[in-house]
């Protein structure tokens, strides 16, 4: 096992262990300071996120890599244009799904949202995209791919996409009891294997992960992936403001979800086929 795989295995094991060990104490502090404000599953999820970010920095140090390599730029104006262009594509994909659902009668036009919704959606999209791309396509992508050595590109990108899709279903289900072992019990009740996972959403996230990983591999930086990811997240919130769900209309394959179902999945496949139709670099920079 080379340095890349050793680091990834250590990261995963320590992340699982530390989340379980820290959860009871952090939960007790949070519930004492702000009782009723945060649910136990949400506290568990925040611990997962913080440890993933800290562990990611540790992995970069172990692999002798830096965030500057995949967040750097020769021209910041060029980076900005690239991120905005891909962001518009992401938002446009969501708008296309919402428009088609309007045509099918499961959404209705609600008018142009207010400035507060636009600002909140854009800020949320940018923050989520930066954090998730740093972890998934930065640390577990560009840094891991180089540390792992030469492997089949399709395998590395597929593993990255699988991790990305699965990570969206790591929230504990049901009540989480108290006690020093409650964190370990929470790991056994994750939505991924103890809940009812929406297979359309899981498949869509996998394809989205393939797209983002392919962009990061080809560009050798994260700005295109950050832009596209931010466009998806912001686009969901903005389009839900433009087109509201039609009242008293039953859902189905046609919607009204903008994240799961055949409509968003097909749109993702179209983009994926376009990107994967181009040659994949044989080597990493």
Q: What is the pLDDT of residue 133?
A: 97
Q: What is the pLDDT of residue 75?
A: 77
Task: Using alpha carbons, list the distances in angstroms from residue 231 to 14, 39, 227.
Answer: 32, 29, 6
What is the C-alpha to C-alpha distance for residues 16 and 30, in angstroms, rounded to an integer?
20
What's the whole-number average pLDDT of the chain? 91
Divide the 285 residues of the chain into consecutive groups of 10 and give the mean pLDDT of each group.
Answer: 89 97 97 93 96 96 93 80 94 95 90 93 96 96 89 87 96 91 96 89 96 92 96 96 83 80 93 75 47
Reference 126, options 260, 238, 258, 232; nearest CA is: 232
Q: What is the pLDDT of residue 194?
A: 86
Give 50-97 pLDDT, tens digit per residue.
999 999 999 999 999 999 999 887 777 788 888 999 999 999 999 999
Residues contacting 35, CB < 8 A, separation 6+ = none
Question: Of all helices (H) and strands (E), which one includes residue 192?
Answer: helix 191-194
Whether the Cβ atoms of residue 143 and residue 64 lie closer than 8 Å to each other = no
């Amino acid at each position: 096992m080379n340095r890349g795989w050793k680091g990834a295995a250590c990261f995963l094991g320590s992340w699982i262990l530390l989340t379980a060990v820290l959860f009871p104490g952090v939960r007790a502090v949070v519930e004492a300071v702000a009782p009723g404000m945060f649910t136990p599953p949400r506290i568990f999820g925040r611990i997962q996120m913080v440890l993933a970010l800290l562990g990611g920095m540790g992995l970069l140090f172990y692999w002798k890599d830096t965030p500057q390599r995949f967040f750097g730029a020769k021209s910041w104006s060029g980076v900005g244009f690239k991120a905005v262009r891909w962001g518009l594509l992401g938002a446009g994909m969501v708008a296309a799904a919402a428009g088609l659902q309007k045509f099918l009668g499961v959404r209705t036009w609600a008018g142009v949202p207010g400035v507060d919704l636009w600002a909140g959606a854009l800020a949320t999209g940018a923050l989520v995209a930066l954090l998730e791309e740093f972890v998934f396509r930065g640390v577990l992508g560009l840094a891991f791919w180089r540390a792992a050595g030469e492997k089949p590109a399709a395998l590395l990108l597929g593993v990255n996409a699988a991790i990305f899709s699965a990570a969206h279903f790591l929230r504990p289900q049901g009540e989480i009891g108290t006690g020093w072992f409650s964190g370990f019990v929470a790991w056994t009740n994750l939505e991924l294997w103890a809940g009812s996972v929406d297979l359309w959403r899981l498949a869509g996230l996998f394809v989205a992960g393939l797209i983002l990983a392919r962009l990061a591999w080809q560009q050798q930086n994260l700005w295109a992936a950050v832009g596209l990811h931010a466009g998806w997240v912001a686009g969901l919130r903005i389009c839900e403001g433009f087109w509201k769900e039609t009242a008293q209309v039953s859902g189905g394959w046609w919607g009204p979800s903008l994240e799961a179902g055949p409509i968003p999945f097909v749109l993702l496949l179209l983009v994926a086929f376009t990107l994967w139709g181009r040659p994949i670099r044989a080597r990493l920079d």
